[in-house]
Amino acid sequence: MLIEDYALIGDMQSAALIGRDGSIDWLCLPRFDSPACFAKLVGDESNGFWRLAPTGQETATRRGYVKDTLILETVWETPTGTVKVIDFMPPRHDNPDLVRIVEGVSGTVEMTAEIRIRFDYGRIIPWVRRSDGALHAIGGPDSVWIHAPVQLKGSGYRHTGTFTVSAGERQAFVFTWHPSHQPQPDRIDAVEELAETKLIWAEWVSQCGYTGPWRDEVVRSLITLKALTYRPTGGIVAAPTTSLPEHIGGVRNWDYRFCWLRDAAMTLDALTDSGYIDEAGAWRDWLLRAVAGRPEDLQVMYGVAGERRLPELTLDWLSGYEDSAPVRIGNGAADQLQLDVYGEVVNCLYQARKKGLPPDDHAWSIVRRLMDFLERSWDQPDEGLWEVRGPRRHFVHSKVMAWVAADRMVRIVEELGRTGPVERWRAMRDRIHAEVCDKGFDAERGTFTQSYGSRELDAALLLIPIVGFLPPEDPRVVGTIDAIERELMTDGFVLRYPIAESNDVDGLPGAEGAFLACSFWLAEALALVGRKDEALELFERLLALCNDVGLLAEEYDPVEGRQLGNFPQAFTHIHLIRTAYALS
């Protein structure tokens, strides 16, 4: 199953991936970052899955989301009739539920259900028994109840059953997780929950302020970003998956089920641009809790509730997606120094205030403390935006975003009436600007470079005009765009930076695909410099990469013509939205 063959459902606390074959191959409960109970995605069938499809049929005819919702409808046309499977996770009550409703459209179709529950990322085979007409599986702290319209028979550590559905009939499966020490949860009404889930999503989408020509793509991206928000705390995960590879068979496999300050701040920008101010307030509250403490202890990422310890481990019993090992949980990049996140956070809060988020004295106090640290540290080398695992460098993008932090602090004082050492911030802003233009620019080639003194390029340099560091018409901006088109484009898409044996910047072996967010940056930058026709062409080419339900991963392999990396990727959908606004 290709990465783009999956669709997403979720309840804004966790998420599942469902393939075109009707199989749920990834589901972590009760949170995005909890151990998976279906882990076939990064292993094999023995690591857990739940397939529901017509008997003997491998691939669905078509599928799509119910308009303006996260409810998936998969249609199967068979020789004996047509059937629809409706998959969704209702917004959570006491426990997480996953509902699968089989609906007869025409004729009569025989369906097969097969389920293998495996807790702890496929490692624990639970004890399963029948109770009150349902299957009850227990393994350590995890407990699952499966209410099915057919008796599921156990054999070989799996359960299967067949049944028929005719036109007009509905058969519902309900899968409910709860802590194993708690009593059996109440069973939900699947049909009632379907109606309620439709209403909740439709009401949320009705607040969208985007009116441009790419409404369907923008709304689908907004729904995806909302689905990646952990509702109890306001934290936003970068993706619901771990270890989907950036290169098939390679080691660039990372756990993205955490809240990067950078990604979350950009997500909030995209949401507030579209009128979603409540999400900005919830994220600001999450941020204040997560970063509370000494400003020098700021991390680049946290758990969904603000956890700081995210130790990186490998799961040796999992073979990895298409044998791309290792499978990792946790993320060692949490301990890195990435100076650009300060600029992202300050810019996000500035933009949210401009768009209507009420002021908060506590937030301003903490941001000022973070700024004190950045004033002392902006001139240090760091690991940068791309979380390199090679030596620290003076990355130009990091310095530019430190400039953004100082610039936005000045604007908050000048435009929003806050008080602070504005003259000091102005001086910091001017000093950073002068240094970047002096040390980060290659006058011979007419382009900014990845780091001071290097000759390598970096797609993040495309953000220079986007964040306002230099005006679009500046020859240095034009030269940088031209250089990136010459040196970082492959088959019409943009790489993050050169990947070669001689370039040890990221400290990792192997190649990777074109980074989709970088290609969206190029489209936005081209529009800014007046090359709108080229920008539109690139944007449409990127939209064509969306899978059949409008989702995108982190990267794209233009040679093999397939998506790569964790899926769906918030960072990619953020910049789809931003580029749509820029071109609208």
We report the CATH number of the domain holding residue 443 as: 1.50.10.10
Question: Residue 480 to residues 442, 444, 494: CA-CA distances in angstroms?
Answer: 10, 12, 13
Q: What is the dihedral of CA 20, 22, 25, 28, to 10 degrees?
A: 110
- SS3 string, 22-58, reads CEEEEEECCCCCCCEEECHHHCCHHHCEEEEEECCCC
**315 and 374 inside one domain:** yes
**248 and 184 inside one domain:** no
What CATH code is carried by the domain that includes residue 63?
2.70.98
Q: Which of 176, 202, 228 is the last residue of a domain?
A: 202
Q: Which of 181, 202, 223 is the last residue of a domain?
A: 202
Per the listing, tokens 């950009």 go with: 266
Per the listing, tokens 């917004």 go with: 91
Residue 397's Cβ-count burial label (10 Å; 0-12, 13-18, 19+) is buried
Q: What is the C-alpha separation between 238 and 490, in angstroms, rounded? A: 25
**253 and 189 inside one domain:** no
Q: Which of 160, 178, 202 is the last residue of a domain?
A: 202
156 sits in the region (left: phi over 0; alpha: psi -120 to 50; else beta) called left
Per the listing, tokens 């240094």 go with: 435
Domain range enclosing 20: 3-202
**169 and 252 inside one domain:** no
**212 and 66 inside one domain:** no
**113 and 212 inside one domain:** no
Q: What is the C-alpha separation between 119 and 110, in angstroms, rounded? A: 30
**151 and 227 inside one domain:** no
Q: Assess contact for 509 and 474: CB atoms under 8 A.
A: no
Q: Is 369 helix (H, G, I), strand (E, B) or coil?
A: helix
For 199, list phi and psi in degrees, rounded to 5.
-65, -45
Number of structural domains, the chain? 2
**417 and 441 inside one domain:** yes
**187 and 299 inside one domain:** no
The residues, any chain, with a CB within 8 Å of residue 512's CB and separated by 6 or more, are: 246, 247, 250, 252, 495, 496, 499, 555, 564
**119 and 45 inside one domain:** yes
The pLDDT profile of the chain, 584 residues, written as one tens digit per residue, is 999 999 999 999 999 999 999 999 999 999 999 999 999 999 999 999 999 999 999 999 999 999 999 999 999 999 999 999 999 999 998 999 999 999 999 999 999 999 999 999 999 999 999 988 899 999 999 999 999 999 999 999 999 999 999 999 999 999 999 999 999 999 999 999 999 999 999 999 999 999 999 999 999 999 999 999 999 999 999 999 999 999 999 888 999 999 999 988 899 889 999 999 999 889 889 988 888 877 778 899 999 999 999 999 999 999 999 999 999 999 988 889 999 999 999 999 999 999 999 999 999 999 999 999 999 999 999 999 998 878 899 999 999 999 999 999 999 999 999 999 999 999 999 999 999 999 999 999 999 999 999 999 999 999 999 999 999 999 999 999 999 999 999 999 999 988 754 455 655 655 788 999 999 999 999 999 999 999 999 999 999 999 999 999 999 999 999 999 999 999 999 999 999 999 98
**110 and 246 inside one domain:** no
Give me the residues paired with residue 564 across strands: 555
Residue 63's Cβ-count burial label (10 Å; 0-12, 13-18, 19+) is buried
Please give the model's pTM, rounded to 2 decimal places. Answer: 0.96
**196 and 211 inside one domain:** no
Q: Assess contact for 76 and 54: CB atoms under 8 A.
A: yes
Element (H, E) at 127: strand 127-131
Q: Assess contact for 451 and 395: CB atoms under 8 A.
A: yes
Long-range contacts of 496-504 (CB under 8 A, 24+ apart): 496/386, 496/458, 496/459, 496/460, 497/386, 497/450, 497/456, 497/457, 497/458, 497/459, 498/456, 498/457, 503/456, 504/390, 504/391
> Which tokens in the block code for residue 214?
């790419």
Q: Assess contact for 520 and 535: CB atoms under 8 A.
A: no
